[in-house]
Structure formats: C-alpha cells, structure tokens
Amino acid sequence: MKGPVIEINQPTSGLKWNGAIAYLDRDGVLNYGSPNYVNSPEELKILPGAAEAVSKLRKLGYKIVITTNQSAIMRGLWEDGTIQKIHKKLQDEIGEIDVLVTCPHRDRDKCGCRKPMPGMLNSASEIIRQKSHSSINWWGEKPQPIHPLDLMVGDRDSDMSAGWTVGARLFKVNEHVGIAEVIDRIVSGDPGDKFRPV
C-alpha cells in the first residue's frame, strides 16, 4: 500500500464554503485515543463537545478533513474494511466529514503521508480545491496558507508540524480534552499557536 487511504464524501449541506479547510487529527481530538489503537467501532468513544465543535466549524463554512496516522493497517492487525467501519461510527456521531485521509504506514515505511509529513493534508486539499503545497522547508519561514483561515487541530507535535508545512493556523489540544478546548479560539479568529517544527 503506497499512498494513504482516502474516503471522500463532500456532502452538499447548503452551507456556503468559506474557501478554508479545517484539518483535524482524529484520536485525542475527536475521540479518545488508545496506546493500542482504536481497533473497532465499539472502541471508538467521542470526546465531550467534539460533535458540537465540528458542527460550529461547518456553520462557519469550513470543509472538514480528518487526517489520522493508523499504522495498525500496515502492521496487519486489522482485516480489510476496519478503518471504514470505525469511520462510519465516527460520522454517525459527529456528522459527515468531507474527506477522511488515513496513513496506514509505519515509520520504517518512509512514506510521505505519515505525520509530520504533509501528504494527507495536501491530498485532501487537491481533492477539495485542486491546490496544495508542493515543497517543504522545515528550516524556512512558515509557508503562506492557501486560505488564511486554514487550520490544524491536533494533540501532538507531529500534527502541528504537518499543519505548519501548509501554513495552517495551529491549535494544539490536550488529548483528554480534544477540540472542545480550542473551538472558542477558532471561532474568534485566533491566529493559532506559535510553533517551530525544528
């Protein structure tokens, strides 16, 4: 398996798109994470306030993208279709997501999609708006975003690094609190956290 697993919905909600993408990590942002992976729909538990936060993002006009590292796939721990079943449960609880991108790889697979690499964010941006960032300079200035409101929410520095490479506003959360911790900042137009990837 070379690239990420991509699930595309792009529902027509009747809400006007503001041109921006909200990139969200999954575990520790929308649902409780686990050191041993979330292995089934039954193990997926939504964090308090996550559904409401995603609803607020939609009402603000964002397209919603989930980017999640799930190396259980390349470790051979799951049967085919497991990630789609987990994501169905997720969307049953927080609503339909425009694009879900899953990196199945391990560190040693040296892919371009496992965060902190930006491959999943760029794939989703190409799908939604036919534009993406084509280069990375970890030591340079933070790149300009495709849309000034683009944002990334995650619980790890690898999320912040991936978001940094596409110029997104960065919001780091506590993994036990999730997106509810930062939704008011996002709504108020906060420029996001200061962050250097290296």
63-69 and 21-24: which strand pairing?
A: parallel
**Between 62 and 101, how does the x/- string for binding to Zn ion read (CB under 5 A)?**
----------------------------------------
Residue 103 touches Zn ion, criterion: CB under 5 A: yes
Using CB under 5 A as the binding criterion, the count of chain residues that bind Zn ion stands at 5
Name the minimum Å distance from CB 114 to Zn ion: 4
State how far the Cα of 76 lies from the Cα of 27, in Å rounded to an integer: 20
Give the residue among 67, 8, 70, 74 at the shortest CA–CA distance from 39.
70
User: Is 27 one of the annotated active-site residues of the chain?
Assistant: yes
State how far the Cα of 171 lies from the Cα of 180, in Å rounded to an integer: 11
Residue 105 touches Zn ion, criterion: CB under 5 A: yes
Residue 121 touches Zn ion, criterion: CB under 5 A: no
State which of residues 21, 65, 101, 113 lies at the interface with Zn ion (CB under 5 A).
113
Name the minimum Å distance from CB 128 to Zn ion: 19
Name the minimum Å distance from CB 73 to Zn ion: 9
State which of residues 111, 152, 153, 160 lies at the interface with Zn ion (CB under 5 A).
111
Contact 66, 21 (CB under 8 A): no
Name the minimum Å distance from CB 83 to Zn ion: 13
Asked whether the bond before 116 is cis by omega within 30 degrees of 0, the reply is yes
Indicate if the alpha-carbon torsion angle 159, 169, 127, 13 is positive or negative.
Answer: positive
Length of the chain in terms of residues written = 198
Residue nearer to Zn ion on the CB measure, 57 or 117: 117
Contact 48, 180 (CB under 8 A): yes
Contact 31, 38 (CB under 8 A): yes
Stretch that binds Zn ion, among 27-35, 112-120, 143-151, 182-190 (CB under 5 A): 112-120
Residue 114 touches Zn ion, criterion: CB under 5 A: yes
Structure tokens at 52: 């409401």
Residues that bind Zn ion (CB under 5 A): 103, 105, 111, 113-114
**Which residues are catalytic, by number?**
25, 27
